Structure 1
Amino acid sequence: MLLSEYADIQSLALFTVVFILCWRLLRGEKHNSFSRLPPGPKGYPVVGNLLSLSLHSERDMSDWNKTYGPVCRMKFATMEFVILGSLEAVNEAFVKKSDVFSDRLQDSMPGFTGGTGILFLNYGNLLKEQRRFGLSTLKLFGMGKKSLEPIILDLCTDLCDTLETYCNSNEFVDVSFPIYERVAAVISQLVCNKNLPKEDVDFRQWLHRITTGSKYSAFSAITVFYPSLKVIPPFSWGQQASQEHEQEGFQLIKKQIEKHRISRDPKEPRDLIDCFLQEMDVRSEQSQKFSEQLGFRDDQLNGLIRDLFLAGSETSSSALCWAILFLCKHPKYQSKLHEEIDEELHQRPPKYSDDLNFAKACIQETLRMRPVGPIGIPHVANKDATIMGYDIKKGSCVAPNLFRILNDENLWPQPEKFDPTRHLDQNGNFVKHPSYIPFSIGPRQCLGMQLANMEIYLFLVSMIQRFSFELESGEDIDMRGQNIFTLRPYPFRVRIRRR
């Protein structure tokens, strides 16, 4: 055989192999004879599956989990992204194999730079230490305890007094920011021992910008998967706005830390900042080598407070807005909730220990239908591993599809129907469903889950006890909500009537 003919055959064989590999990749076949990679949807060159995502990506990914199974693989440029659409898959990855699937993308989320805080730290000693400190300190000042109830109830009263002023006008109003402001005040009391949203105008305005977002937020979200776009307009505009907002928040937090340094009594800590500064003092007395391995530094305190405010405020306030919206859409359930509250509480303020079964059912149904984090914060595999028999490469993003799990028609008949009664047994008692995991599971489960549950319950019952809410007749609201990192309702206005 001539050398040139051999070269032609070799080239043809190489081309055939490359073609088959590309063809299989683009088809997103369920079966891959070359590996055990998870199946997934067909992607496009360079961009991968980005163009297949709509503004309601949680629904797109839910459809992919239905089609390809509970372990579904996607590509975003060079990023491997695996979405887990069943409780079994999430449990295997984040509980049974948490030592492998608990890292985070670094410096990827706009507005969350640097290896500080809690949300975006990699899994290791620093994160474990900071979570232990955060949990123990928040519990010290009342999280999950009756001692925090008076603080929350005072803020509930303050919120209701504000809503009362809207009753006189008989107009339709947006209640989202008054709710967000009071919820943020709860974490402010635990962290700073003061109501920052009320006492500091600059801080209040910063919170308001969180709720309204930026017109470039959608572009910012895309840069999570395509970091190279951060320097290209219009993506760079969103990145710049997020960074400016982050730095503004850091300056506001830094001001509070410096005030605490001046006024604190080491023997009488008032809040989380005092406890952190006290721990810094203790560590500074130890060897320098030991101190460098731990996270009790100024930048870590700043990042920790940022994460507590953003995550702690967003979850509860969004859930409360969703609950009000669903109850407006289903007035028969709002009336039933009124009846339960009147019968059980009469006119006294609610307690977290109250046995209000229907109120608990309404809250669980709200968070089931519209989990605040529909696609949980992505985890990152720190080495090659498997999930349900599929190969997951080191560095792959792995995220729980909480929206899919909480809207799985096999677990929840007619999942798009708002029906609190599905959470009650035949005797009318509240039942927690085993697949109800709106705060995810495992060692990276939401740190403030206990606080969020108490806040949502006390604020919602307090509002429904004093008022009835109704939407403007004929107002058409897209109930899918807007998913920009968290799932919020589209802006809506209600008329508030005094009961």
Structure 2
Amino acid sequence: MIFQALFDCMDFTSWLLFSFAVLLLTDVVRNWRPHSFPPGPWALPFLGNIFTGVDFKSLEKLALEYGPVFSLRQGSERIVFISSHKMVKEALVHQLDSFVDRPVVPLFHEVFKGIGRPFNPHYIITTAVSNIISSVLLGQRFEYSDPSFRSFLELDNEAIVLAGSPLSQMYNAFPGLLKYVPGPHQTVLLNYKTIMTFLKAQVAKHQKEWNPDDPRDFIDVYLGEMEKKKEDPQAGFNLETLQVCILDLIEAGTESSATTLRWALVYMMHYPEIQQKVQAEIDRVVGQSRQPTVADKPNLPFTDAVVHETQRLGNIVPVGFPKMASKDATLGGYVIPKGTAINTVLASVLVDKEEWATPDIFNPEHFLDSEGQFRRREAFLPFSAGKRVCLGEHMARTELFLFFSSLLQRFTISPVPGEMPGLEGVMGFTHSPSKFRILAEPR
């Protein structure tokens, strides 16, 4: 009777407050962090830590406060971040089978001129790099003036930059809610829709010209597998998967290498003495009568060291790509249940003060021994490590060395007067240089 009378006297506002209190209590109980789970900052009810920056500098501060294994909450999902060379190596190498699954990332899940004058090298470099993977996948290279391919690259670059924005990250936490809300995440989704239209046209062209006895590229080979497995739909060979594979491989084979080369140009403008030393080594070993080759790499240790230092300090993918615990695991004394999303903060490894003499300074000596020969570093993990290490690592290493050595062989890179680019990058899904122009003087 007492409860009945209480309910009878409650007005709309009272019911609203009561409902909110119940939802709040439910959220607190449901998202209560177990004592054994990695620690982290206090989370807002319902929202979690969506206002906490997930750029590598913010994550570095959180690691200092909470330790190398900590967590943040996005909506109702907890994400574990792993920092420091020691702990990243423990997760990716020593526990090979513990963190190999991929979580669903809603934002991406929706996706099924002259030398001597100042110029922006962004899309010259991006097109050059992308033409390599395009030759493998699509069986062709595109002209630098090709408007459709240039649009493809611009849309993709914009999507990658916007994917790191706070509102795009909120979409990953609340995809159902923000699917209908304007914002940068809508641009990302629209861009990928347009990109997929471009790729569908490429696949359709291949289907029309396909000769099973003369496969020309990845698409032709894939179409052959589709034909072989047409009676077995569970094998997964279909046009939708093919298109997503092409997009994945083009992005992986373009963005990181092209961005690394742009960072290399920035560093060469800031450190002209290093640029001169690279050019002197190339002149001594290769000369000017031919282009550098992969066979020259062992004889160009300083050049190779500069490329590696660019990757280290350029820090292209500072938080790596999301992974997920494939089984219950223990890391740093904390229990991480199966199905928990994790991010390895690769930036923390690349600037780990225990591993690098001058972690915040561009210093090729990090990769040279006392005799000036190139030396590998265990804490050099720009491609991640373990079972989810970057599939194109070998290809990327080769591309970076050949592009960089060939550029420095033929040109001296200098800033436009009064336009020295900054060393603070732009944080998107990748860490890229701000827009800049250069002068490239033929040698």
TM exceeds 0.5?
yes
Structure 2 counterpart SS, 1:72: strand
Partner of residue 38, structure 1: 38
Partner of residue 104, structure 1: 102
Q: Does residue 292 of structure 1 match 2:292?
A: no
Structure 2 counterpart SS, 1:250: helix
Q: Calculate the aligned-residue CA RMSD, in Å.
A: 2.6
Q: What displacement does 1:407 show?
A: 0.5
Any conservation in 2 of the 1:320–1:460 contact (CA below 8 Å)?
A: yes
Cα distance in 1 for partners of 2:108, 2:226 equals: 29
1:42-121 matches, within 5 Å, as 42-53=42-53, 57-110=55-108, 113-114=111-112
Partner of residue 172, structure 1: 118
Any conservation in 1 of the 2:119–2:438 contact (CA below 8 Å)?
A: yes
Cα distance in 1 for partners of 2:338, 2:42 equals: 22
Q: What displacement does 1:490 show?
A: 0.7
Question: Which amino acid is the alignment partner of residue 226 of structure 1?
Answer: F
1:225 pairs, out of 173, 182, 200, with 173
Change (3 A) 1:473 1:226: farther
Change (3 A) 1:350 1:111: farther
Q: What displacement does 1:384 show?
A: 3.1
2:390 pairs, out of 442, 446, 461, with 446
Partner of residue 13, structure 1: none
Cα distance in 1 for partners of 2:100, 2:110 equals: 18
Any conservation in 1 of the 2:159–2:191 contact (CA below 8 Å)?
A: no
Change (3 A) 1:113 1:462: same
Structure 1 counterpart SS, 2:431: strand
Change (3 A) 1:385 1:368: same
Change (3 A) 1:437 1:233: same
Any conservation in 2 of the 1:221–1:485 contact (CA below 8 Å)?
A: no
Q: What displacement does 1:351 show?
A: 0.4
1:350 pairs, out of 292, 295, 307, with 292
Question: Which amino acid is the alignment partner of residue 274 of structure 1?
Answer: D
Cα distance in 2 for partners of 1:234, 1:410 equals: 44
1:9-24 matches, within 5 Å, as none
Partner of residue 152, structure 1: none
Q: What displacement does 1:332 show?
A: 0.7
Q: Does residue 248 of structure 1 match 2:194?
A: yes
Partner of residue 439, structure 2: 495
Q: What displacement does 1:183 show?
A: 0.5
Question: Which amino acid is the alignment partner of residue 390 of structure 2?
Answer: C
Cα distance in 2 for partners of 1:210, 1:449 equals: 21
Any conservation in 1 of the 2:425–2:431 contact (CA below 8 Å)?
A: yes
Q: What displacement does 1:186 show?
A: 0.4
Partner of residue 314, structure 1: 255
Which sections of structure 1, spanning at least 5 residues, go unmatched? Answer: 1-17, 27-31, 115-161
Cα distance in 2 for partners of 1:296, 1:199 equals: 34
Partner of residue 262, structure 1: 208
Structure 1 counterpart SS, 2:339: coil
Q: What displacement does 1:215 show?
A: 8.7
Partner of residue 135, structure 2: 189
Cα distance in 2 for partners of 1:449, 1:44 equals: 39
> What per-residue deviation string (whole Å, max 9, x for no partner) do you get for residues 181-224 of structure 1?
11010001001110135585323211122234589652324322
1:436 pairs, out of 374, 380, 384, with 380
Cα distance in 2 for partners of 1:420, 1:205 equals: 36
Any conservation in 1 of the 2:68–2:84 contact (CA below 8 Å)?
A: yes
Any conservation in 1 of the 2:156–2:195 contact (CA below 8 Å)?
A: no
Cα distance in 2 for partners of 1:225, 1:197 equals: 40
Structure 2 counterpart SS, 1:470: strand
How many pairs are equivalent? 413
Q: What displacement does 1:440 show?
A: 0.4
Q: What displacement does 1:253 show?
A: 1.4
Cα distance in 2 for partners of 1:177, 1:256 equals: 21
Any conservation in 1 of the 2:155–2:195 contact (CA below 8 Å)?
A: no
Partner of residue 244, structure 2: 303
1:340 pairs, out of 265, 277, 281, with 281
**What's the TM-score, normalizing by structure 1?**
0.77
Percent identical residues: 31
Cα distance in 2 for partners of 1:459, 1:66 equals: 38
> What per-residue deviation string (whole Å, max 9, x for no partner) do you get for residues 387-417 of structure 1?
2321113332111101011001111122111
After TM superposition, the structure 1 stretch with the greater mean CA deviation from structure 2, 413-422 or 209-218, is 209-218
1:388 pairs, out of 329, 332, 349, with 332
Change (3 A) 1:245 1:316: same
Question: Which amino acid is the alignment partner of residue 358 of structure 1?
Answer: F
Partner of residue 9, structure 2: none
Cα distance in 2 for partners of 1:421, 1:216 equals: 35
Question: Which amino acid is the alignment partner of residue 258 of structure 1?
Answer: A
Any conservation in 2 of the 1:371–1:487 contact (CA below 8 Å)?
A: yes
1:273-292 matches, within 5 Å, as 273-284=219-230, 288=231, 291-292=232-233
Partner of residue 429, structure 2: 485
Change (3 A) 1:215 1:182: closer
Cα distance in 2 for partners of 1:409, 1:97 equals: 24
Which sections of structure 2, spanning at least 5 residues, go unmatched? Answer: 1-23
Q: What displacement does 1:346 show?
A: 0.6
Structure 1 counterpart SS, 2:194: helix
Q: What displacement does 1:383 show?
A: 3.9
Change (3 A) 1:492 1:431: same
Change (3 A) 1:197 1:84: farther
Q: What displacement does 1:36 show?
A: 1.6
Cα distance in 2 for partners of 1:475, 1:52 equals: 33
> What per-residue deviation string (whole Å, max 9, x for no partner) do you get for residues 80-126 of structure 1?
11111133333333344444422222251347534xxxxxxxxxxxx
Any conservation in 1 of the 2:159–2:188 contact (CA below 8 Å)?
A: no
> What per-residue deviation string (whole Å, max 9, x for no partner) do you get for residues 401-453 of structure 1?
01011001111122111011221111110111011110001222111111111
Cα distance in 2 for partners of 1:184, 1:82 equals: 33
Question: Which amino acid is the alignment partner of residue 268 of structure 1?
Answer: D
After TM superposition, the structure 1 stretch with the greater mean CA deviation from structure 2, 425-434 or 386-395, is 386-395
Cα distance in 2 for partners of 1:88, 1:292 equals: 43
Cα distance in 2 for partners of 1:39, 1:216 equals: 29
Change (3 A) 1:215 1:263: closer
Partner of residue 205, structure 1: 151
